[in-house]
Each structure stands twice: as structure tokens, then as C-alpha cells.
């Protein structure tokens, strides 16, 4: 399995829990506990206004493509912890750099990547604790157990697929956009549409359902409806203006 965003981590967990041997190439997606201090993490993030963070607040355009932290919706919502995967027998790999003659060439960045995943959780919990302290909410304190099993894993620079018994390689490394069928200068250097909350400079051309179109929630079901309502209102206003001109 290559990639540990939400999809990769969820699939890897199900594969090893079903008894399969899993080698997992770890990416930079962070980790948060699914529940903390008595609430679902999404509940906390909503209260803190995190999902309303506007795209203009991002430090760089590339931040739009950062993966969501690892959590799972299984069993009404669970945490995913790669250290637990290691404890349960999953073999970790750094970033896959190349494949030659049946061998994967792997970066020796496993521990550095893991440190970033762990740091993400520390930062998120601190932010949440600060929020609770600032708002005076009476949420009982909680200590999240700090597993460290992954750091004990060997750094593997090359892997012989056949020799390791690997018969399937699953890529869960995300999507890129392809708007080549739109024959207008409408995408930026990242291939991302140039628009404001879905409205482009080209009359009648709109985008919807993309990560950070308007806010953090634009790319999930939680936010696509609001963006759609905004576009519908824009189109209706445009039509009203047109009818007024005709009248
Ligand atoms: C793997 C994955 C997991 C996700 N998990 C979650 C989650 O757990 N919670 C959550 O809130 N959100 C999740 N999302 C995000 C959520 O799926 C999107 O926010 C939502 O689907 C966006 O709605 P949409 O209608 O804009 O696009 P979509 O639901 O993607 O619909 C786009 C439609 O357009 C069609 N289409 C594409 N190109 C063309 C074309 N050229 N001609 C005609 N039709 C075309 C596609 O076939 C598709 O039917 C996930 C997304 C992915 C990819």
C-alpha cells in the first residue's frame, strides 16, 4: 500500500485486520484522535471554526492540496494510528521513489515522515486544549496514549516485491485535476481553476466540489452544499439582471 492519507490508512487497516501481510509506504498526512475530551474531533473542529477557514488564509496555494488527517468513519468513527499498525505487524516503508526490475526503491525518510505525523497530532491537541482553556468549556482533560512502535522499525531502502511475497500494489496517493477539455485559460500553474467561490471570469463557467474552492469545507460533503447555494444565487442574480436589461 502506498500512501497514508485517509483512504490509504483506512484500506491498510482493513487489509491487515483481515489477516493479510501489509507493507505500508508512509506519507505526510497527519494524525488526530477521532475523539478527544468527550467530543468527536469534527465536532471540535467545527466549534473552533476550522472548517470555515477561508482559502485566502492559506500561507501558500500548495496548502490546498495537503491531505486530511488520518481518521476513520468505521464503527461510527475511529482513530487511526500508524504506530498501532506497526505493533500489529504492518511493515513500514519510506516514500517510494522508483521501481526497477521488480524492486521498489525507497527513500530513507521513514523516521522523519513519522515525526511529522506525530507532531501534527501534538499541535492539533495543543490547539484544542488552548481553545478549551480560552472559552472556559468544562471538557474533562484527556491524555492520548503516545505509541512509538514505528520508530523501532528497520529503514528499508529497497524491496524485492516477489521475494517479499507482494502480489498487489495499491496506490492511494490522491488525485490530480485534468480540465484539458475546457478550452479556456482557466487554470493556474497547479492546474487548479482560477475562480472566486466557483465563479470564473468566463461567463457561464463555474466550478464546484473542489478542495479549498472557498473554505476548508468546500471539498467535503459538509461544504459542497453551501458553495452550490452560492453559485445558484449568483446564476439567479445574473438571470434577473439579464431580464431587467431585456425589459
Ligand atoms: C476517496 C474520497 C473519499 C471521500 N470521503 C469523504 C468523506 O468521508 N466525507 C466527506 O464529506 N467527503 C468526502 N469526500 C469528498 C466528497 O466526495 C466531495 O466533496 C463531493 O463528492 C463533491 O461533490 P460533487 O458533486 O461536486 O462531485 P462528485 O460527487 O465527485 O460528482 C462529480 C460527478 O461528475 C461526473 N463527471 C466527471 N467528469 C465528467 C464529464 N467530463 N462529463 C460528465 N460527467 C462527469 C463524475 O462521474 C461524477 O458523477 C471524499 C472524496 C474522495 C475522492
Of ligand 1's listed atoms, the one at least distance from the Cα of 228 is: 26
Q: Tens digit of pLDDT for each residue in 80-117?
A: 999 999 999 999 999 999 999 999 999 999 999 999 99
Radius of gyration of the chain, Cα coordinates, nearest whole angstrom: 22
Question: Ligand 1 center to residue 183 CA distance, Å?
Answer: 22
Checking if the pLDDT of 159 tops 80, the result is yes
pTM of the model: 0.91
Same-domain check for residues 90 and 205: no
What is the band of 244 on the pLDDT scale with cuts at 50, 70, 90? Answer: confident
Same-domain check for residues 192 and 146: no
C-alpha cell at 175: 488525485
Q: Tens digit of pLDDT for each residue in 10-44?
A: 999 999 999 999 999 999 999 999 999 999 999 99
Same-domain check for residues 156 and 199: no
**Cα-Cα end-to-end distance for the chain:** 62
Helix, strand, coil share (%) of the chain residues, nearest 5? 40, 15, 45
What is the band of 137 on the pLDDT scale with cuts at 50, 70, 90? Answer: very high
Checking if the pLDDT of 246 tops 80, the result is no
Same-domain check for residues 110 and 228: no
Same-domain check for residues 92 and 211: no
Q: Is position 76 within any domain?
A: yes
Q: Tens digit of pLDDT for each residue in 64-89?
A: 999 999 999 999 999 999 999 999 99
Question: Ligand 1 center to residue 219 CA distance, Å?
Answer: 9
Domain boundaries, position 223: 186-247
Q: Is position 181 within any domain?
A: no
219 lines ligand 1 (CB under 6 A): yes
10 Å CB burial of residue 30 (0-12, 13-18, 19+) is: buried
Question: Ligand 1 center to residue 205 CA distance, Å?
Answer: 18
What is the band of 175 on the pLDDT scale with cuts at 50, 70, 90? Answer: confident
Q: Which residue has the higher pLDDT, 176 or 70?
A: 70
Same-domain check for residues 105 and 216: no
51 lines ligand 1 (CB under 6 A): no
Checking if the pLDDT of 245 tops 90, the result is no
Q: Are 8 and 172 in contact (CB under 8 A)?
A: yes
Amino acid at each position: 500500500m502506498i500512501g497514508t492519507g485517509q483512504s490509504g490508512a483506512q484500506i491498510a487497516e482493513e487489509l491487515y485486520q483481515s489477516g493479510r501481510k501489509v507493507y505500508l509506504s508512509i506519507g505526510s498526512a497527519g494524525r488526530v484522535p477521532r475523539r478527544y475530551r468527550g467530543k468527536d474531533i469534527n465536532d471540535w473542529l467545527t466549534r473552533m471554526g476550522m472548517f470555515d477557514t477561508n482559502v485566502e488564509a492559506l500561507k501558500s496555494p500548495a496548502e490546498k492540496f495537503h491531505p486530511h488527517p488520518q481518521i476513520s468513519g468505521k464503527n461510527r468513527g475511529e482513530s487511526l494510528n500508524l504506530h498501532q499498525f506497526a505493533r500489529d505487524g504492518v511493515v513500514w516503508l519510506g516514500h517510494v521513489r522508483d521501481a526497477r526490475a521488480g524492486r521498489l526503491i525507497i527513500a530513507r525518510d521513514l523516521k522523519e515522515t513519522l515525526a511529522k505525523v506525530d507532531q501534527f497530532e501534538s499541535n492539533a491537541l495543543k490547539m484544542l486544549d488552548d481553545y478549551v482553556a480560552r472559552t472556559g468549556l468544562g471538557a474533562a482533560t484527556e491524555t492520548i496514549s503516545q505509541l512509538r512502535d514505528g520508530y523501532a522499525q528497520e529503514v528499508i531502502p529497497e524491496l524485492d516485491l516477489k521475494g517479499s511475497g507482494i502480489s498487489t500494489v495499491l496506490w492511494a496517493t490522491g488525485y490530480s485535476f485534468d480540465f484539458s477539455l475546457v478550452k479556456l485559460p482557466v487554470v493556474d500553474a497547479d492546474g487548479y481553476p482560477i475562480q472566486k467561490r466557483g465563479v470564473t471570469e468566463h461567463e457561464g463557467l463555474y466550478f464546484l466540489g473542489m478542495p479549498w474552492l472557498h473554505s476548508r469545507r468546500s471539498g467535503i460533503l459538509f461544504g459542497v452544499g453551501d458553495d452550490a447555494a452560492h453559485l445558484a444565487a449568483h446564476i439567479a442574480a445574473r438571470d434577473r439582471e439579464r431580464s431587467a436589461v431585456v425589459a
